[in-house]
Structure 1
Amino acid sequence: MPDQPAGSARPGRGYSRDALWAMAHAERGALADDLADLDAEQWGRPSLCGSWTVEDALAHLTAVASVGRVRWVTSVLAARFDFDEHNERRKAEHRGSTPAETLRQFRAIIPSTTSAPGPTVAWLGEVVVHAQDIRRPLGLTYTPSIEATTAVAEFFAGRDFTVPSRTLIQGVRLEATDGPFTTGTGPLVSGTTIALTMAMAGRAAYCDDLTGPGAPTLRTRVVAHDRGDAR
């Protein structure tokens, strides 16, 4: 989904870069506030993101907002296009010596507009998805704004980017129960916009929140993807 000129802002589509970054900043701030009082056990709890802990996933979000295009290309080349290795190196670089330091470093990048190559909505998607990767295992029930989740859902439905989101939903129809997002044809899968977004991101835990005749098909695909390293 290419970024659109400023001034066009319909629900879930046509947002300007400034509007998309504002949503990303708001979601980062909300996540930082949610994590302010975690204890050591919670920081070490597994996230929904592969083998990463809650602290690891937060450090990854800091890295995503700290590594610009030139440095990203350099890092990927150094990792010989092994994106898992690239992500591990940058995550380790931005993880503090303590969880408190990791959180402080994350707070420092809340207003950042630094990113790797790609459309701005993709980096909003990084925040939305990884924030839920962190929150769900912690039992935190914050829901991102419908504008942010709809924009990300539409992006995921439109193309495979860092996750095979478009491939996962081929042959089913998705309909949000709390917003305007709909896409596809075939057996219906319904749920909240965030649940549909997280399923498209390959997070099997969110398939529990989906209903409809197409839900078993989507679950089977997502579970198969989730057995890999969903980052």
Structure 2
Amino acid sequence: MTNAAVWTAVHQERAALARDLATLTADQWRAPTACAGWDVHDVVAHLVDTAKTTRRSFLRDMVVARFDFDRQNAAGVTRERRDDPRDTLAELRSVVERTSTPPAPLGTRLVEAFVHGEDIRRAVGLRGDYPIAQVTQALHLQLRTTVKMGGGKERANGLQLIASDAPVDSGAGPQVRGTALALLLAVSGRPLSPGEITGSGAPELCARAAS
């Protein structure tokens, strides 16, 4: 998949998320998400920060954070989180078309857009509509990237993941079946609703996602 196709999907998702965020109430902006300690407003601020991040600024921020990813992310949220959520939303709209990125595979922009998009939407009872080819690309990236580097390789070890809506059949072991999006969320450490994934390996994957 070309870089242009990746950025097109990312830009479309940022714009779609901005439209959804415009409908939220003040209470929904404060809703807790699957990102520990972050509410919806925090996750939006994080998306703004990462959209503005360049390779140079990432390295600078990591030095300031003493190479602690959690500290670096927290600093970014503090930097971009406005007092009024509507102002943070305005910042998100301003970065919809940006193509800056930290020093990581470009596919991580898809992972971030889809996974954090679902973090937000699921916290407030919404669902996204994501392009299946790009979701599949994001899933394959997570399956070959270690958890330490933000992926989900270890969570899928010893399991066979089969997507019901995409050409994904990865690994060997007890089977886990679900949509490519559900599998992406699970290997990314996100909780799922009952029945989103099935098969003899589903309880194990859910347990790993929750740990």
Task: Compute the TM-score of the two structures, normalised by the length of structure 2.
Answer: 0.95
CA distance in 2, matches of 1:26, 1:140: 17
CA distance in 1, matches of 2:31, 2:145: 31
- 1:29-48 to 2 correspondence within 5 Å? 29-48=15-34
For the 8 Å contact 2:143–2:151, the answer to whether it is kept is no
Structure 1: 4+ residue segments shifted above 4 A: none
For the 8 Å contact 2:54–2:101, the answer to whether it is kept is yes
For the 8 Å contact 2:141–2:151, the answer to whether it is kept is no
Q: Equivalent residue of 1:204, what SS? A: coil
Shift of the 115–50 alpha-carbon distance from structure 1 to 2, 3 Å rule, reads same
Q: Equivalent residue of 1:65, what SS? A: helix
1:163 to 120, 129, 150: 150
Corresponding residue for 1:114? 100
Shift of the 207–154 alpha-carbon distance from structure 1 to 2, 3 Å rule, reads farther
Task: Compute the TM-score of the two structures, normalised by the length of structure 1.
Answer: 0.87
Q: Equivalent residue of 2:209, what SS? A: helix
Corresponding residue for 2:37? 51
CA distance in 1, matches of 2:87, 2:4: 29
1:77 aligns with 2:54: no
Q: Give the aligned residue type for 1:142.
A: G
1:187 aligns with 2:174: yes
Structure 1 residue 113 displacement after superposition: 0.6
Please list the CA deviations of residues 16-40 of structure 1 after superposition, one character each: whole Å capped at 9, or x if unmatched: 1111111111111111111111110
Q: Equivalent residue of 1:46, what SS? A: coil
Higher RCO, Cα 8 Å, sep 6+ = 1
Q: Give the aligned residue type for 1:195.
A: A
Structure 1 residue 164 displacement after superposition: 4.2
Corresponding residue for 2:138? 152
- 1:74-223 to 2 correspondence within 5 Å? 74-160=60-146, 162-205=149-192, 208-223=195-210
Structure 1 residue 143 displacement after superposition: 2.8
Corresponding residue for 1:229? none
CA RMSD of aligned residues (A): 1.3
Residues matched between the structures, number = 210
Please list the CA deviations of residues 129-154 of structure 1 after superposition, one character each: whole Å capped at 9, or x if unmatched: 10100001111022311122111011
For the 8 Å contact 1:31–1:131, the answer to whether it is kept is yes
Identity of aligned pairs, percent? 36
Unaligned runs of 5+ in 2: none
